[in-house]
Structure 1
Amino acid sequence: MATWIAHLRIAENLLGEISGLDPVAFTFGSLAPDSGIPNADWTQFDPPKEVTHFLRQGEGEQAVHDLEFYRAYLAGLKLDGDAARYSFILGYYLHLVCDRLWAYRIGVPSKHAYANLIAERGNKEAWGLIKDDWYGLDQLYVHAHPKGIFWRVLMRSNNPPQYLPFVTEAALNQQLDYIRKFYSEPEPAWLLDRPYPYLNEVTMSRWIVEASASLLKIYKRFDEIAVLNGAPSVLALIDPSEFAMYDAPLGDVGQIGNLPYTD
């Protein structure tokens, strides 16, 4: 699933394009699906991802049933009603769609490109290495943009109220506080000038730009969702090329042994 700062970068882009949103509520909503409290090794969450991300047991993140959330919680809400509630729930919904886009364009290609690494090291160690790049890019971006949405909104705003029945204030507050501390007080190793072999900023920035454009297009076509009977995702409204897998390499080539890893 997309990183926290990837979600915030997209939220910042969309706030510049969608008038009338409550920027604080939309920002918090854009992080809220990741409010499950993790266990010690971050392998399980309470509530579980099946609840927060509308997944069936055993499904991968590319299977998020985002339209279930839309029909249950967003359909019928109006921006000119309770703007804060609408903005938070819209942010939550677009986060779910973002995670589908990330899974298709970054997650699945990573499984293919680094299949040998995963086979050799095992899922936990391999994905730990891969995600070091993801969150390392986050850290670099946050500290290179001191006026960005992380510092301007997340660090300066009080946590939101409970807008959704399955996201408790306690869980949301704990995760938002963790995210603030993780990025505002990073371990020095996160900020090293180093190669990014599994995902680099070129690919990350490409995904941010393209996902932002796709989400804006989807938002402008919300009135067409009614025709998507039986579809699990609003991505059915856009061209499949907008969520096609990215080709390897996703990161800096040749920086880990004989990378890129291939099947």
Structure 2
Amino acid sequence: MDRSPSVITQVSREEDEDATRPEEGAKEVTLLKKPRSRGLFHSIFCCLCHRETPSIKSNAPLLVEENGTLSKVPAKPLLPRMKSNDAGKICVVIDLDETLVHSSFKPVNNADFIIPVEIDGTVHQVYVLKRPHVDEFLKRMGELFECVLFTASLAKYADPVSDLLDKWGVFRSRLFRESCVFHKGNYVKDLSRLGRDLNKVIILDNSPASYIFHPDNAVPVASWFDDMSDTELLDLLPFFERLSKVDDIYDILKQQRTSS
């Protein structure tokens, strides 16, 4: 997998990775964002129900499709008021699965965490691998930005993973599946619902379908599964350090896209 320093210009390659990655056993169920089939754990971990990515304009619509019906965007923001020590900072929304970690129900010898998850009265063990350099990345991001974890997984899995992953209290808030908008088969992270100025909001996510309402706010990151030589997060840090000093994120993100 190519890991050039200009990772900010990359479009998420998870479709290609799914196509080239060896098929797993029928009994193994991984925590992929785009599951190959519906199974017992599909309703808990997946954040995309279909592979299609609908075409959406940059600005979120006034009305969003939620569970097949049109509903108005709630007036109450998803995030609380910004803390005084974060005043003026850019809000960075950070994804969990295949961005910071990879999780599986299949036992992994080198798992960083093992999380018990209760499903229908039975406790299952979830094996979690940390992406290389994730500790250094999170610590620095917490110094530069107001960081928010936003995952389409359910809290019963994602919350304990975050407890173990975030040693420094980087995530000021955590948002889970219920905070997503279910739109045309996808769990979309609607940045307009956060309660922050969009010109100071960035989303870091490996799945383009997660930010289809606001692609101009996105910093794409390649999907990660188990490549321990990966340097994606480390390579992104210099870019985020520069980005933390700007007043309007759109100009620098547009410049980066056009120069690629």
TM-score (normalizing by structure 1): 0.25
- Structure (1/2) with the larger helix percentage: 1
User: Which has more strand, going by share of residues?
Assistant: 2
